[in-house]
Amino acid sequence: MNGYLIALIVFLAWVGIVFILNRVKWFEKHSMSLQGPIIMWKTRRGRDLIERLASKKRLWDFYGKVSLWICAISMAIIMTLLLWEATIVTQVDRAPSPELILGIPGINPVIPVGYGILGLLIAIVVHEFAHGILTRIGGIKVQSLGLVFLVFPIGAFVEPDEEEMKKTTRSKRSKVFAAGPASNIVIAMIVLSLFSGVMMSSLEPGAVGALARGVVEGSPAQMAGIVPSSVILAVSHETVRSAEDLTSHVSNEPGSTIDIDYAFEGENKIAVVVDGIVVSFVAENYAAHEAGVRAGMVLVALNGTELANVGMISEVMSECRAGQTVPVVVMSYYSNVSRFAVNYSITDITLSDKWEYYEEFTPSKNDDSYRGKPFLGGGFLYLGIDAVDSSYYSDILANPFEGDRNLDDFSRSWLRLIALPFLDLAPLRSPVTDLYVPSGYLEWMPESVFWLLANSLYWIFWLNLMVGLTNVLPAVPLDGGYIFRDGISYLLDKTGRKYTSEQKDRITGSVSISLALMVLFLIVWQLVGPAF
């Protein structure tokens, strides 16, 4: 059944139940109120817990100051990211769907419902309790606490005394607003260290070999049944223990068939594959494409030389020049005979200019020494397998920032870590989870429990980070909007000019609204920009 239809049925059932319970005054009896189909449950029971937590006044006051710095830095980062995205959004082929903007499990398709509810509930409780503690530290009364329900808990709140909140000092009020998103970010960092430093670092490959991170469509490997997340164990009975072992393998007879031993989903298998160098991609209007070569074909020989491995392509090309026409032997898959055979319609290639290719696609990496150099205008992989070491996934998850040399590397590592749901790596599941087993101090843990805990930690990290970064946006009614407004008021006081309360409110209001509209535009631009 369609997911949207299921969501509609659940929502309509929820509305019906809410309507019936409201008619019998069930909500009034249980200190609940309605905002349309949304249930708000208020209670005073949590106030004693907040009072106890807020007893360490000096500690929490220091935390409030740190929270302001965390929010200020995070605000600068998220605004920089939004502005950067605005400059490249027209280069995106397809806009993200509106559901992706909403971090709500069941609506956002990349957030799994179970893990999403857990992560969101923890994020909301952490956020609101932090607000509540700093509210009491500031000497402001907490009227009530509560949860917000729409089918499942979608929010929590701490209700301070509004009059006392307005009358308190700017410093105390800013700390109250900063505590929520800062606590989400702090919790996200703590949970990330548990996910990476404890869970992922305990993994070891179940099978050692060359992991197929990707397989070229239509390649010999793919046609033989080898799929991504397969681990190549041996080629022609020669053991493969790393990606280098696979990519450096020398073919004795390119174009002949060989046996590939591999593991997939915990089972060892054998595939019969056409040996040789496979075209992984071709660029339009360049040598390979113009000759009729396409991704998935096997490049057997070039300029009279059989290609025993990928490195030989460079050796052959070093003896040629741009514009030269050289003989080539290519194999294609013929579905009528269900096998690869020599494609006699492709007999030669006129080599392109390497400088022209780089100038079109990656001008920042172009070099004058490329002028006149021959270029095929394509990519090549042994057997059509994009190979990495079998520890690839566990390594990047256990040490996400390893090898970062500068801010650009660090930023890319962060984006990769946050983008795991979009890469189909969160939640981690088969066949990726079949690649690894817990070891060391977590060897005792059943694999099903291990992956349940690991995925829970990742989504607690992810949703806390998203809630924290969203709430530091300088747009009222978000926490960052109120912090920014108080910041403008502070700067006005520091100018030395005397402003009346009305003038100050008018200036801070105008600046805050302008920035909030700018934030809204930057978000909407991500949805409509690709159309331009």
Q: Which of 7-11, 206-210, 251-255 has the lowest mean pLDDT?
A: 7-11
Dig out the tokens for 288 from the structure: 């390979």
CA distances from 163 to 43, 55, 169, 284, 414 (A): 20, 23, 12, 67, 41
Indicate if the pLDDT at residue 390 is higher than 80.
yes
Dig out the tokens for 495 from the structure: 């100018």
Indicate if the pLDDT at residue 377 is higher than 80.
yes
Confidence category of residue 454, pLDDT binned at 50, 70, 90: very high
Nearest CA to 181 out of 126, 230, 225 is that of: 126
Contact between 263 and 230 (Cβ < 8 Å): yes
Contact between 38 and 104 (Cβ < 8 Å): no
Q: What is the mean pLDDT of residues 47-53?
A: 78
Whether a cis peptide bond, with omega within 30° of 0, leads into 427 is yes
Confidence category of residue 35, pLDDT binned at 50, 70, 90: low
Contact between 403 and 441 (Cβ < 8 Å): no
Indicate if the pLDDT at residue 511 is higher than 90.
no
Q: Which of 183-197, 233-247, 467-481 has the lowest mean pLDDT?
A: 467-481
Mean pLDDT, the chain, integer: 87
Q: Spell out a b/e string for 182-197, using b for 16 or more CB atoms within 10 Å of the CB, else e.
A: bbbbbbbeebbebbbe
Confidence category of residue 100, pLDDT binned at 50, 70, 90: low
Indicate if the pLDDT at residue 51 is higher than 70.
yes
Instruction: Select the more confidently predicted residue: 495 or 466.
Output: 466
What is the DSSP secondary structure assignment for residue 400, as one 8-state letter? T
Dig out the tokens for 440 from the structure: 């060391």
Domain extents for the chain? 1-30, 31-198+457-531, 210-388
SS3 242: coil
Indicate if the pLDDT at residue 465 is higher than 70.
yes
Contact between 178 and 486 (Cβ < 8 Å): no
SS3 158: strand
Give the per-residue pLDDT at 404.
85
pTM of the model: 0.83
Indicate if the pLDDT at residue 269 is higher than 90.
yes
Q: What is the mean pLDDT of residues 184-205?
A: 95
From the options 2.30.42.10, 3.20.20.70, 2.40.110.10, 2.60.40.3080, give the CATH code of 210-388.
2.30.42.10
Confidence category of residue 456, pLDDT binned at 50, 70, 90: very high
Indicate if the pLDDT at residue 99 is higher than 70.
no
Give the per-residue pLDDT at 364.
86
Give the per-residue pLDDT at 500.
77
Give the per-residue pLDDT at 207.
92
Give the per-residue pLDDT at 139.
85
Q: Which residue has the tokens 């050796």?
A: 315
What span, in angstroms and rounded, lies between the C-alpha atoms of 132 and 135?
Answer: 5
Write the pLDDT tens digit of every residue in 476-510: 778 888 888 888 888 887 777 777 778 877 888 88
Q: What is the mean pLDDT of residues 272-284?
A: 94
CA distances from 239 to 180, 232, 312 (A): 54, 9, 22
Q: What is the mean pLDDT of residues 117-131?
A: 87
Q: What percent of the chain has pLDDT over 70?
A: 91
Instruction: Select the more confidently predicted residue: 3 or 512.
Output: 512
Confidence category of residue 113, pLDDT binned at 50, 70, 90: confident
Instruction: Select the more confidently predicted residue: 98 or 398.
Output: 398
Give the per-residue pLDDT at 82.
85
Q: What is the mean pLDDT of residues 208-226?
A: 94
Give the per-residue pLDDT at 106.
63
Give the per-residue pLDDT at 387.
95
Give the per-residue pLDDT at 95.
61
Indicate if the pLDDT at residue 157 is higher than 70.
no
Residue 524 host element (H or E): helix 501-528
Contact between 173 and 138 (Cβ < 8 Å): yes
Q: What percent of the chain has pLDDT over 90?
A: 48
Indicate if the pLDDT at residue 531 is higher than 90.
no
Q: Is the dihedral of CA 133, 135, 136, 142 positive or negative?
A: negative
What span, in angstroms and rounded, lies between the C-alpha atoms of 474 and 523?
Answer: 13
What span, in angstroms and rounded, lies between the C-alpha atoms of 217 and 337?
Answer: 18
Confidence category of residue 527, pLDDT binned at 50, 70, 90: confident
Give the per-residue pLDDT at 350.
95
